[in-house]
Chains A and B, each alone.
Chain A
Amino acid sequence: MGVRKGERILTMLLYLSAGVSIALLAGIMGYVLARGIPQLNLTFLSTVQSARKGTFGILGNIVNTLYIIVITLLIAAPVGVGSAIYLNEYARPGRLVRMIEFTTEILAGIPSIIFGLFGMVFFGTVLGFGYSVLTGSFTLTLMVLPLITRNTQEALKNVPESYRTGALGMGAAKWYMIRTILLPSAAPGILTGVILSIGRIVGESAALLFTAGSGFLLPKSLFGKLFESSGTLTIQLYLSMQDAKYDQAFGIAAVLLLIVLLMNLLARCLSRQKNLGE
């Protein structure tokens, strides 16, 4: 009977743990949305904070976040996909491949605060970009690179070998084969990597605090913004929190959660589509 009792306790513990995990998520989502959504209104979403009028808004931060997402992905997506293509299609197994895979893994494990320090010194001071969208985006490029490389590699591995031999056998050159056969077949996987990266960028804060800065103004010109200090939503959330302005903080948190939720759903839809297609 002792065994039975132990069994029951263990089973209970398993259910309890799963329950805790779910309750945590539900609690976090519920609490943040319940306190944050009432804060959202037109002024909050469509203006920039103004000391003169005494109003608070996050439009500038939204624009900054978009800038950083776009610039980061413009660099990280081609490089990450290229790296995966090299690893999967060109490289012969050997020391170099092991080295690249090892460093990609290391890169994925480096905490964002270290990226922040490196970005601040290298892109900010040595290359002279200061606190700007560019410094932030360069820093985040290094951070999301492993995510894109891995997802693309995974997708390329799933393309049947017969596609490659078929194309090559018909006389297609390698790059032609990659461009017309492999990349289209691997597109959903690549897109998943990109969406996960967007989620990561939106949620990032430590790597941006010392690189992109905390500016909240709207851009005066399309490209001028690249060189201006630009705080993202997370940075503004942190600053509001530091000033104990919790209502603002919850408003931003709700916006962030909704974005993360959306990205998650998108990635999920994509992978489902991919599974159906196969």
Chain B
Amino acid sequence: MCEKKHSIMGSRIDGSMTEHTAAWIFTGCGLLAVIAVFSITLYMVLNGTPALFKVGILEFLFGTVWKPTADPASFGILYVILTSVFGTFLAILLGVPIGVMTAIFLAEIASPKAAAVVRPAVELLAGIPSVIYGLLGILIFNPLMYRAEQYLFAGSKTHQFTGGANLISAVLVLAVMILPTVISISEASLRAVPKELKSASLALGASRMQTIFKVLVPAAGSGIMTSVVLGCGRAIGEAMAISLVSGSSVNFPLPFHSVRFLTTAIVAEMSYSQGLHREVLFTIGLVLFIFIMFINTVLTGMFRKGVGGNGRA
């Protein structure tokens, strides 16, 4: 022990300073995530609440008139909240069945070769920048919707023509964007179902489809629900892809109305907003933040604890 120059133990004692420093630094790195979430929450609340009281909570949340630059300005975001909720719901309704079925195809039906083509494709779909989805939405969905609009509202005098930038276009874009999330998580949970369940079901004479839909899907239920919840979070938080696709005025979310989401309201007006208007945009951010926190903590927590474990998916 005394001749520490020659023993391995020696370097250990000499290096104890380094060791301690390293341990402290790593702890600090670990804590950064905690600090980040804490400060983001703090700043969202600090910046979002003042306007809430200036405008009045009820007037803000349940007002339907959004005229931020008018001279008495009016800040009612009920339609904006409803648009985000409806839009997300419709996107889930459209995207989840396709996503879950693709996951089943990948996990159960596809040959390894076919799966080797589809799976990377899905991963790639997840990596495409959201502005590109927006670009395609504008050039593909909007013209289609415009044509549908001209056809459906041909004689209408009350309908405000939107040029195709409406709720449906935005929902279609969102549905495509949540697909990768739903597919990859559902597939993983389907693969995690014990092989015995499948073999037992097949051995009892159940057909392939019966096994898939009555045994495997329920068994993977909580995982599939988690994928839906995450898809929900992705859809409600998406901004750039739908900001130009969904139109630019605040309206009640009907299919052919030009609408504004919580996210797109921020993106569209932040650059020119001032004073109270700017504060109100932060309040919209706070509302969005509360939605997201609810989805990510309460809903995921619920399904992780296995409430949906035996439920129908």
A positions within 8 Å CB-CB of B: 3, 6-7, 10-11, 13-18, 20-22, 24-26, 28-29, 31-32, 78-83, 85-87, 89-91, 96, 99-100, 103-107, 109-115, 117-118, 121-122, 142, 145-146, 149, 170-176, 178, 199, 202-206, 209-210, 234, 237-238, 241-242, 246, 249-250, 253, 256-257, 260-261, 263-264, 268
B155 at the interface (CB under 8 A from A): no
Of residues 28 through 42 on chain B, the ones whose CB sits less than 8 Å from some CB of chain A are: 28-34, 36-40
Secondary structure of the B contact surface, majority rule = helix
The residue on A at minimum CB distance from B136 is A28
Q: How far is the CB of B165 from chain A (nearest CB, A)?
A: 12
Asked, given contacts A14-B109, A17-B98, A113-B267, whether A264 binds B127 with beta carbons under 8 Å apart, the answer is: yes
The residue on A at minimum CB distance from B21 is A175
Q: How far is the CB of B54 from chain A (nearest CB, A)?
A: 18
Q: How far is the CB of B230 from chain A (nearest CB, A)?
A: 7
Q: Can you spell out 11 A-B residue pairs with CB atoms less than 8 angstroms apart?
A: A7-B209, A21-B179, A86-B26, A114-B288, A114-B289, A117-B47, A145-B36, A202-B129, A206-B267, A249-B135, A264-B123
- Residues in B neighbouring A81, C-beta threshold 8 A: 29
The residue on B at minimum CB distance from A171 is B8
Compute how far the CA of A10 lies from the CA of B183 in the bound complex, rounded to whole angstroms.
Answer: 18
Of residues 171 through 228 on chain B, the ones whose CB sits less than 8 Å from some CB of chain A are: 176, 179, 183, 207-209, 213
Compute how far the CA of A195 lies from the CA of B272 in the bound complex, rounded to whole angstroms.
Answer: 36
Q: How far is the CB of B59 from chain A (nearest CB, A)?
A: 23
Question: Do the beta carbons of B33 and A22 come within 8 Å of each other?
Answer: no
10 interchain residue pairs of minimum CB distance:
A111-B237, A82-B29, A203-B129, A171-B8, A17-B101, A86-B30, A86-B26, A175-B22, A18-B105, A109-B296
B positions within 8 Å CB-CB of A: 8-9, 11-12, 15-16, 18-19, 22-23, 25-34, 36-40, 43-44, 47, 97-99, 101-102, 104-106, 109-110, 117-118, 120-125, 127-132, 134-136, 138-140, 176, 179, 183, 207-209, 213, 230, 233-234, 236-240, 244, 263, 266-267, 270, 282, 285, 288-289, 292-293, 295-297
Question: Do the beta carbons of B34 and A241 come within 8 Å of each other?
Answer: no
Secondary structure of the A contact surface, majority rule = helix
The residue on A at minimum CB distance from B23 is A90
Instruction: Give me 9 other A-B pairs in contact (C-beta within 8 A), A83-B29, A90-B27, A103-B34 excluded.
Output: A80-B29, A105-B296, A111-B239, A117-B282, A175-B22, A237-B132, A246-B135, A260-B127, A260-B128
Asked, given contacts A174-B19, A260-B127, whether A22 binds B121 with beta carbons under 8 Å apart, the answer is: yes
Question: Do the beta carbons of B36 and A175 come within 8 Å of each other?
Answer: no
- Residues in B neighbouring A28, C-beta threshold 8 A: 125, 128, 132, 136
Question: Do the beta carbons of B128 and A203 come within 8 Å of each other?
Answer: yes
- Residues in A neighbouring B296, C-beta threshold 8 A: 105-106, 109
Question: Do the beta carbons of B138 and A86 come within 8 Å of each other?
Answer: no
Residue in contact with A21 in the complex, picked from B122, B240, B266, CB distance below 8 Å = B122
Compute how far the CA of A237 lies from the CA of B135 in the bound complex, rounded to whole angstroms.
Answer: 9
The residue on A at minimum CB distance from B38 is A103
Q: How far is the CB of B120 from chain A (nearest CB, A)?
A: 7
Question: Do the beta carbons of A87 and B289 come within 8 Å of each other?
Answer: no
- Residues in B neighbouring A86, C-beta threshold 8 A: 26-27, 29-30
Question: Do the beta carbons of B239 and A203 come within 8 Å of each other?
Answer: no
Compute how far the CA of A88 lies from the CA of B169 in the bound complex, rounded to whole angstroms.
Answer: 45
Compute how far the CA of A210 lies from the CA of B281 in the bound complex, rounded to whole angstroms.
Answer: 13
Asked, given contacts A21-B98, A83-B32, A237-B135, whether A203 binds B127 with beta carbons under 8 Å apart, the answer is: yes
- Residues in A neighbouring B40, C-beta threshold 8 A: 110, 114-115, 118, 142
Q: How far is the CB of B248 from chain A (nearest CB, A)?
A: 11
- Residues in B neighbouring A117, C-beta threshold 8 A: 44, 47, 266, 282, 285
Residue in contact with A171 in the complex, picked from B12, B32, B127, B208, CB distance below 8 Å = B12
Q: Which has the most chain A C-beta neighbours within 10 Å: B29, B33, B118, B263? A: B33
Asked, given contacts A21-B98, A246-B139, whether A257 binds B128 with beta carbons under 8 Å apart, the answer is: yes
- Residues in A neighbouring B292, C-beta threshold 8 A: 109-111, 114
Compute how far the CA of A22 lies from the CA of B106 in the bound complex, rounded to whole angstroms.
Answer: 12
Q: How far is the CB of B238 from chain A (nearest CB, A)?
A: 7
Compute how far the CA of A86 lies from the CA of B122 in the bound complex, rounded to whole angstroms.
Answer: 33
Question: Do the beta carbons of A253 and B244 come within 8 Å of each other?
Answer: no
- Residues in B neighbouring A6, C-beta threshold 8 A: 209
Q: How far is the CB of A114 from chain B (nearest CB, A)?
A: 6
